[in-house]
Chains A and B, each alone.
Chain A
Amino acid sequence: MALTKEKLISRLQTQVGLSKVDSRAVMEEVLKIIKETLASGEDLLISGFGKFSVRHKNARRGRNPQTKENLILRERKVVVFKTSGVLRNRINQVS
């Protein structure tokens, strides 16, 4: 069972005591701020969780593994995520 946006919204309701409407609004606003920050090329560092950064990729020759067609991948910007040490340790903890 995946954690979805809907579930996060209902957790905000119970944990922070916001109405359903307000929970949804703040959830959407947080995502909007994060997306606009990354779109502007700025990184986002959430201590205890991880860091989202924008990385520039140079153009390179690639190949479609299905059709075996050669193609050129143009230069582009991508988002990468690096897990914080704290969260990595929590995930790897033997319980």
Chain B
Amino acid sequence: MNKSQLIEALAKQENLTLKKAELVVNALFENMAEALVRKERIEIRGFGSFKVKHYNGYKGRNPKTGDIIEVGGKKLPFFKVGKDLREMVDREKE
């Protein structure tokens, strides 16, 4: 499922216009993205939480040429799945 399909599903379920559903979905993910840009945690019960983690740089190698290259440190969001979603996804299909 992609974002447009999520927007369509939301519009249908909640009787919203596509335009309104698009505003909602865009606002939700933009608010979440901005929180992560500010290095703020996100916690949504039953769904999961996001936290920006710092990864140190390291010396790596270009696998093709064998050259040693410096890989810089980076920050990446880490998603920890919530209990409810974890159980839903793992549930055995009857």
Interface of A with B (CB < 8 Å)?
A: 1-5, 8, 11-12, 15-16, 18, 25-27, 29-31, 33-39, 42-50, 52, 54, 76-81, 83, 87-88, 90-93
In the complex, A4→B21 CA distance in Å?
21
Q: Is the interface on chain B under 10, 10 to 19, 20 to 34, or 35 or more residues?
A: 35 or more
Does B10 sit within 8 A of A, measured CB to CB?
A: yes
Chain A contacts of B68 at CB under 8 A? none
In the complex, A87→B16 CA distance in Å?
28
Contact B27–A12 (Cβ < 8 Å): yes
Contact A35–B43 (Cβ < 8 Å): no
Closest Cβ neighbor of A38 among chain B residues: B89
